[in-house]
Amino acid sequence: MKNFERIEKYLFGTMDAAEQSNFENELATDAVLAAEFQVQKAEHRAMDLLLQQDLKSQMAAWKSEQAEQTTTARTVPMMQVSHRSNWMRLAAAASVLLVLGFFWLIRPNAQGVFDEYSGTLRGNLSDAPEVLRPAEELVGQEKYADALAILEKINDPDWDESVRVLRGECQFRLKNYAAAAAILEPIVKNPVGSDNLRKAEFLLLYTYWGAGNSTAGKALKEKILATPNHPFAAAAEEVKL
């Protein structure tokens, strides 16, 4: 997400007073930022719960081990007992890391799943119209801001809608979800060509997913799945809202 690092700083309490005040003011006025904040806050809460559950089980193990130490202290050298305690703590820390790592591994997200279908979106670079090819090349190199700079200068009515679709993709990739939606929504509502319409629907759906806009996202997902032979139906199925 565009604001991921800032939200993390806020949630971990590492912002200074002025930065925190500015961030909270933005939260009150920026709907996209607020949606991203709620998603990250929920993720933090989920991880906290997993951590608490794991620590509870580890505490039970430590208490059991402590009781065992008490009964065996007369026969087991103190250094050996200390080593066993250290290994228990290391094992507990490792298990917590595994739990958190597994959580992030299985969690689907718009940017990650999008990669599986982005090739279908643009097709072969050789098939791209000449006017779009420089921007397409930059997108392929993940230089989205540079691609946007080129696209903003294109003034060709024959390719206007294609330019807007690619701009929407760049904004999505930069996690500028509000900007992406502002570009893509008019195309979905008043399309010029069916090919660009399908692409815009796909991009807009993933934009809604990234922004945490469940209401609009679910409605668009249903529309895509109800469209016969929609080229991005499989991609829509992957969306978790």
User: What pLDDT digit, counting tens, does each position of 168-194 carry?
Assistant: 999 999 999 999 999 999 999 998 878
CA-based diameter of the chain, in Å? 89
Q: What is the pLDDT of residue 100?
A: 47
First to last CA, the chain: 16
27-60 pLDDT tens trace: 778 878 877 888 877 777 666 656 556 555 666 6
> Would you tell me how many other CB atoms lie within 10 Å of the CB of residue 56?
10
Query: What gap in Å lies between CA 13 and CA 17, rounded to an integer?
Result: 10
- In this prediction the pTM is 0.58
Across the chain, what does the average pLDDT equal? 78
Q: What is the pLDDT of residue 33?
A: 81
Beta strands of 25-124 (E only): which ranges? Answer: none
CB within 8 A of 203, min separation 6: which ones? 121, 165, 168, 169, 172, 180, 184
In contact, 44 and 12? CB cutoff 8 Å: no
107 against 239, higher pLDDT: 239
- Helix (H) or strand (E) segment spanning residue 186: helix 177-189
Once rounded to an integer, what is the mean pLDDT over residues 201-226?
Answer: 94
> Would you tell me how many other CB atoms lie within 10 Å of the CB of residue 141?
10
| Structure-block tokens of residue 191 | 């399309």
